[in-house]
Amino acid sequence: MKDSVFLKITKFDDAFSQLQKFSYPMEESEKVPLKESLNRILFRDVKSPIDVPDFPGSSRDGYAVISADTFGAEEDKPVLLHSVGEVCIGTKPSVVLQRGQCVKISTGAMVPKGADSIIMVEYTEEGNGRIKVYRPVSPGDNITKVGTDLKAGEVVLRKAKKLTVFDSGVLASIGLSKIDVFRKPKVAIISTGNELVTPGQRLDAGKIYDVNSVTIHQAVLESGGAPIEFGMLPDEYSLILEAVESALSSSDIVLVSGGTSKGPGDLMPEVIQGIGTPSFFVHGIAMKPGKPTILSSIRGKLLLTLPGYPTSALIVYYTLVDPCIRKMARQPPYRFQIVKAYTSTRFYSEIGRKEFKPCRISSRDDGRFYVIPMPTGSEAITTLGKADGFIIIEENVEIVGENQEVDLHVFPHKVEKMNDPMGEEL
């Protein structure tokens, strides 16, 4: 395997579709309290166990009456009814209405048996235990019938729906306090590299702080996965093998960063070989950044190895891993907001690699937006943090001329800023 597949470069689009093919949507469910269900994916169709409302209710403040009693009532010839009590909201009426009787009722209260309509309080007058009714009502007037909103047995929300605040309202209204949703894919995160130190610890000479453990963790949350920390490992074959084996057995996806190239400390190809035969294996993708990325599926789990360099890792995450996790989590794919802009300068790219080029956006007097590439040779996270998104330069393109229209793919966290593209931001 080593000689034939390693760094046999795969086209980005092929790598993407192979990874998608091996990204299996979750099949298992878990029960969550309704309050915690926001943005989760519904596991099955939900049918209402009750009619909503499940009692006939008054839609007005007034009197519950028998409509036949009000026939002929006029402004100057009111009908007189005998008031036999009051129904307050939330209580079960104790009376059964007889001809000639009425019951005071509030909006939302249950209509007593015998009554078939509500006369609004505006068309009545009270006095001496009698109620003068100045207008006739018809059967059903001002009554919200049982099942007006929902009928028992009706499907209220369908399987695979992403739950919103309003959906939670619907589910609460039919009495559910917990709900079955698809389990989130568990995503194990492992950083590798002898040079790495956990933030908060002392930085010895020659070391740098581990960035990927934090950024990938947060990115996984945004994709709808459940990140699991497997920590930071030195470049030691047996330690990495052990961690990856353990992660594979307890997670749905394993994301390793670092160890992807052919340098002395880059052990992941060997680790994969040590675990078994992958059912799919891509090492080397014709993309920039991200060339040394390894995609593989082994023991039915995805094992993805991102470049160690934090900004490369994030670009690979957003272009390949995020669509994979969302598919597994059954979340809708993220659609990059596109801003039409023009190149501020010539852009050079390497033939044979699809380039994701981080850019800032700027406006000019001509009212157009222009994309400005981030300075080359400075791929630090501090620089990338200031980029608004990226433009894509296809594999077969070497130069994009000045003033060409391009699509800026806005980074998810810059979408708010794009509403006010010139807004100040450090």
Question: Between residue 129 and residue 158, which ones bind a second copy under the rule CB under 8 A?
Answer: 148-150, 155-158
Q: Which residue among 13, 180, 222, 270 contacts a second copy (CB under 8 A)?
A: 222
- Which residues, other chains included, contact 210 with Cβ-Cβ below 8 Å and sequence gap of 6+? 191, 193, 196, 197, 198, 199, 232
Pick out residues in 337-376 that bind a second copy (CB under 8 A). Answer: none
Nearer to a second copy, 100 or 199 (CB): 199
Q: Give CA–CA dist 367/36, Å, rounded.
A: 45
What minimum distance in Å lies between the beta carbon of 51 and a second copy? 10
What minimum distance in Å lies between the beta carbon of 398 and a second copy? 22
Nearer to a second copy, 10 or 124 (CB): 124
CA 46 centroid distance within chain: 20
Pick out residues in 228-247 that bind a second copy (CB under 8 A). Answer: 234
Q: Which residue among 6, 25, 32, 53 contacts a second copy (CB under 8 A)?
A: 53
Pick out residues in 186-215 that bind a second copy (CB under 8 A). Answer: 193-201, 203-211, 213-215
Provide the Cα torsion 235, 236, 241, 247; round to 10°.
-50
Nearer to a second copy, 193 or 323 (CB): 193
Pick out residues in 94-123 that bind a second copy (CB under 8 A). Answer: 106-110
Q: Give CA–CA dist 110/120, Å, rounded.
A: 15
Nearer to a second copy, 261 or 404 (CB): 261
Sign of the four-CA dihedral 213, 219, 222, 224: negative
What minimum distance in Å lies between the beta carbon of 59 and a second copy? 8
Nearer to a second copy, 80 or 421 (CB): 421
What does the per-residue mask of binding to a second copy show for 305-344, with x meaning CB under 8 A? Answer: -----x---x-----------------x--x---------
Compute how many residues bind a second copy; rule: CB under 8 A: 93
Q: Which residue among 1, 68, 96, 221 contacts a second copy (CB under 8 A)?
A: 221
Nearer to a second copy, 188 or 314 (CB): 314
Q: Give CA–CA dist 65/402, Å, rounded.
A: 79
Q: What is the DSSP string of 116-146?
A: -EEEEGGGEEEETTEEEE-S---TTTTEE-T
Q: Give CA–CA dist 287/13, Å, rounded.
A: 10
Nearer to a second copy, 216 or 298 (CB): 216
What minimum distance in Å lies between the beta carbon of 185 and a second copy? 18
Pick out residues in 254-293 that bind a second copy (CB under 8 A). Answer: 263-265
Helix (H) or strand (E) holding 19: helix 12-21
Nearer to a second copy, 55 or 71 (CB): 55
- Order of strands across the sheet that contains 280-283: 226-233, 186-192, 253-257, 301-306, 294-298, 280-283
Pairing assessment for the beta strands 285-288 and 10-11 based on DSSP bridges: parallel
Q: Where are the beta strands (DSSP E) in 364-420?
A: 369-373, 389-393, 399-400, 405-410
Q: Give CA–CA dist 113/103, Å, rounded.
A: 11
Q: Give CA–CA dist 143/245, Å, rounded.
A: 64
What minimum distance in Å lies between the beta carbon of 140 and a second copy? 13
What minimum distance in Å lies between the beta carbon of 214 and a second copy? 5
User: How many other CB atoms sit within 10 Å of the CB of residue 157?
Assistant: 19
Q: Which residue among 65, 103, 118, 171 contacts a second copy (CB under 8 A)?
A: 171
Secondary structure class of 153 (helix, strand, coil)? coil
Pairing assessment for the beta strands 354-363 and 369-373 based on DSSP bridges: antiparallel
Pick out residues in 376-405 that bind a second copy (CB under 8 A). Answer: 378, 380-385
Nearer to a second copy, 116 or 210 (CB): 210
Nearer to a second copy, 18 or 173 (CB): 173
Q: Which residue among 83, 161, 273, 397 contacts a second copy (CB under 8 A)?
A: 161
What minimum distance in Å lies between the beta carbon of 49 and a second copy? 10
Beta bridge partner(s), residue 189: 229, 255
Token match 């296809």: residue? Answer: 394
Q: What are the φ/ψ torsions at residue 36 (nearest 5 degrees)? A: -100, 15
What minimum distance in Å lies between the beta carbon of 77 and a second copy? 30
